[in-house]
């Protein structure tokens, strides 16, 4: 039965980044270069700002005393300043110097107003510093002109309406229907009211406001330069490179050889890839393991043997080590950890009672069929020696994860035996 797939751990991610750091570095450098190139490819823009103070105008003299804060809607004024009509007027004003159409002026203009104020801040984005300053001032002047013209048109409309009513009153005063004294008195009262209104209309202040801060010519562009865009590209490159490195298919997914094992960690490697008989490699492994000549009666000498499952061999690595020890005249007890309840292992198996029953023996605990790396590490911490058996086509990432976990618990791998892949062994035996 194949072991359950292990979930990715933080050590795996860090290890993958360390192994594939060139990928992250290359993508980050590409991002840096693209950012710098973008700073030259993107046209520079300059921002200038003109400040306008808005006067509350009320063309209706009957409501001329209304509070200024209620007679002016600054959001409305901001909308007028950013309107297409103002943009057209600004385009006409700029035409002798800059040929900018109304659509571009509208897109390049932003208008805002601080809360509880009668101030409009008009910003314009231009291709050059002088164009930006001229554009901001042109939009502000066009807004004031439009507002002044609208107010003057409204006053003119009210004057014409009042004069029309006065002419009608004069005509009515000569009619027989208004010949009575009371009718004449009523017409005089209406005429006096209209005359007073006309007098008030002639004194209406048509000043819409004034520019209180002309645009200054900007000295630096508002668009980011090579340094900030380069750093932004570098940062984005890092963000893109990290997942690419993590998701990239491992070139070293197979151990491959002795160099691959040494790349995983510091360990003694027994190279058995050229041995035609697997038992010969195990005989050398049994010789290299530092097993006491005599084992005291206070406890056993425990050897944890771990191999990758699923290679189809009839005997597991632990049984092969037991056979090799037997050939050297040492008896050993084989224990298949995969047959032990994993809950018992996590709770502290083998128990003291079990260890006493094994006293004086060599115990080979085979974790080949054990699915949990955590339980393998737990058994390793309770063992006197750890031997790892792998073939050249085994999963290097899985071994790297196990080696990292063992190292985190200060457990050293006493020996790693490397065997040829299964199909190579078949070819050698033919």
For residue range 183-226, list pLDDT tens digits in order: 888 888 888 888 888 888 777 767 788 999 999 999 888 777 77
SS3 372: coil
Q: What is the CATH number of domain 258-429?
A: 3.40.50.300
Condensed to tens digits (0 to 9), the pLDDT of residues 2-28 reads: 444 444 556 556 666 666 678 888 888
CA distances from 171 to 81, 115, 165, 379 (A): 45, 52, 10, 118
The helix-helix angle for 396-408 and 373-381 (nearest 10°) equals: 40
For 171-193, the pLDDT digits (tens) are 888 887 778 888 888 888 888 88
For the chain, the domains span 21-42+225-247, 46-213, 258-429
Q: Tell me whether the omega of the peptide bond preceding residue 350 falls within 30 degrees of 0, making it cis.
A: yes
Widest distance between CA atoms in the chain: 148
Confidence of residue 64 (pLDDT cuts 50, 70, 90): very low
Per DSSP bridges, beta strands 301-307 and 362-366 are parallel
Cβ(195)–Cβ(163) under 8 Å? no
pTM of structure: 0.47
**Left (φ > 0), alpha (ψ -120 to 50) or beta: where does 173 sit?**
alpha
What element of type H or E holds 418?
strand 415-419
pLDDT confidence bin for 62, thresholds 50/70/90: very low
């Amino acid at each position: 039965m194949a072991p359950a797939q292990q979930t990715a751990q933080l050590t795996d991610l860090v290890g993958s980044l360390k192994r594939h750091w060139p990928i992250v570095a290359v993508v980050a450098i590409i991002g840096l270069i693209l950012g710098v190139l973008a700073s030259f490819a993107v046209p520079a823009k300059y921002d200038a700002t003109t400040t306008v103070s808005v006067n509350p105008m009320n063309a209706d003299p009957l409501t001329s005393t209304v509070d200024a804060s209620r007679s002016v809607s600054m959001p409305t004024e901001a909308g007028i300043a950013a309107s297409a009509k103002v943009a057209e007027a600004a385009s006409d004003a700029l035409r002798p110097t800059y040929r900018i159409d109304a659509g571009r002026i509208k897109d390049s203009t932003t208008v805002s107003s601080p809360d509880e104020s009668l101030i409009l801040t008009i910003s314009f984005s231009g291709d050059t510093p002088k164009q930006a300053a001229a554009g901001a001032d042109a939009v502000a002047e066009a807004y004031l002109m439009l507002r002044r013209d609208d107010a003057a048109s409204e006053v003119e409309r009210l004057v014409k309406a009042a004069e029309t009513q006065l002419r009608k009153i004069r005509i009515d005063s000569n009619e027989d229907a208004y010949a009575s004294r009371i009718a004449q008195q009523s017409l005089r009262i209406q005429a006096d009211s209209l005359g007073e209104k006309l007098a008030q209309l002639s004194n209406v202040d048509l000043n819409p406001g004034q520019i209180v801060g002309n645009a200054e010519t900007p000295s630096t562009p508002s668009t980011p330069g090579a340094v900030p865009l380069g750093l932004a590209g570098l940062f984005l490159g890092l963000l893109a490179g990290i997942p690419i490195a993590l998701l990239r298919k491992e070139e070293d997914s197979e151990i491959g050889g002795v160099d691959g094992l040494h790349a995983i960690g510091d360990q003694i490697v027994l190279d058995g890839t050229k041995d035609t008989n697997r038992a010969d490699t195990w005989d050398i492994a049994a010789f290299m393991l530092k097993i006491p000549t005599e084992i005291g009666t206070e406890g056993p000498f425990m050897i944890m043997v771990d191999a990758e499952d699923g290679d189809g061999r009839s005997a597991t690595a632990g049984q092969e080590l037991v056979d090799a020890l037997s050939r050297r005249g040492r008896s050993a007890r084989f224990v298949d950890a995969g047959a032990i309840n994993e809950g018992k292992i996590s709770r502290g198996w083998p128990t003291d009672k079990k260890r006493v029953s094994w006293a004086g023996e060599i115990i080979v605990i085979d974790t080949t069929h054990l699915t949990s790396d955590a339980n393998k590490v737990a058994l390793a911490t309770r063992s006197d020696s750890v031997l790892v058996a792998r073939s050249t086509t085994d999963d290097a990432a899985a071994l790297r994860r196990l080696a990292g976990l063992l190292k985190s618990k200060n457990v050293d791998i006493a020996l790693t035996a490397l065997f040829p892949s299964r199909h190579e062994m078949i070819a050698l035996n033919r």
